[in-house]
Amino acid sequence: MMMSNVVRTTTKMVSPFLVTYSIYIMIYGHLSPGGGFQAGVILAVSVILLLTAHGHVVMERKIDESQFKMIEVAMGVGILLLVSGGLLFGTMFYNYVDRGTFGLPFSGGFIPIFNILVGLKVGAGFMVVYYALTRWSEDD
Amino acid sequence: MKRVIALLLVLSIAYVLLPMEYSRRDVMPSYEYYVENWEEVGTSNLVMGVLADWRLYDSVIEAMIFFTGILGSYILLEDKNYDDE
């Protein structure tokens, strides 16, 4: 299903800004309100908007859904590896990276890395779910 | 017999859990601990500090639950005619 010309043009203009905003929230999640999950949802919305406006037939030529699945699984394994790396420094879930200076982007140990991993994982996951849910609604 | 055992289990759990009370003032509540030891984490967003440092196990297991949900929905909605893989 393809929506009208106005919707398609607006979506094309809005979607890159959503990706930029999502990356900002991912990187600065430990300094300002936000975090990995919220960033992932915004990232997924940028693709869901395009999918809704342009329809599956057009989008299937542009994006590869198996990449989303790969990102999802890779980020899940990455989170587990990152977290279990604390076993080398004492206990599981221990924040073993240097804390840095309070208030700067490089602070809080591995919290920024964790945010980025969770953001990519949640974004890819929501994309996969939306893709799987709406695949049956296509007529053409 | 099974129902009697189940009832006894529920009653014993209730006997342990119902008298619990959190009205004591001499013990420091957890939020006071978080605010006092803010510098320990080193993030200016305290919510993220709680979620991703003190309660990291909760966040990680939540991510795994999300992963399981996606896996289940994808298995249920899988396209049987999708012969790409």
Task: Count other C-beta atoms under 10 Å from residue A79's C-beta.
Answer: 22
Integer CA distances (angstroms), A51 to A86, A106, A136, B54, B68, in order: 40, 35, 13, 38, 24
Domain residue limits, chain A: 5-137
CB atoms within 10 A of CB B16: 8
Q: How far apart are CA B51 and CA A125, in angstroms?
A: 20
B21-40 confidence digits (pLDDT tens): 777 777 777 788 888 888 88
| Residue in A36, A99, A128 nearest the CB of B74 | A128
Interhelix angle A36-54/A5-27, rounded to 10 degrees, is 170
Q: How far is A49 from chain B (nearest CA, A)?
A: 20
For residue range A37-56, what is the model confidence (pLDDT) as tens digits? 999 999 999 999 998 898 88
pLDDT for A61 beyond 90: no
Tokens of B9: 């289990």
Q: How far apart are CA A46 and CA B28, in angstroms?
A: 44
pLDDT at residue A136 greater than cutoff 80? no
Tokens (6 digits) for B46: 């305290």
* Gap between the Cα atoms of A96 and A87, Å rounded: 9
Res. A81 pLDDT band, cuts 50 70 90: very high
What whole-number distance in Å separates Cα of residue A68 and Cα of residue A130? 11
Question: Across the interface, do B53 and A125 touch by the CB < 8 Å criterion?
Answer: no
Q: Going by C-beta distance under 8 Å and a sequence separation of 6 or more, which residues neighbour residue A54?
A: A2, A3, A8, A11
Asked if the C-beta of B39 comes within 8 angstroms of chain A's C-beta atoms, the answer is: yes
Structure confidence at residue B80 (pLDDT):
64
CB contact under 8 A, A111 and B53: yes
Q: Interface pTM (ipTM) of the complex?
A: 0.81
Instruction: Check CB contact under 8 Å for A30 and B43.
Output: yes
Residues of A in contact with B41 (CB under 8 A): 95, 99, 108-109, 111
Residue carrying the six token digits 């076993």: A87
- How confident is the model over B38-85, as pLDDT tens digits? 888 888 888 888 888 888 889 999 999 999 999 888 888 876 665 554
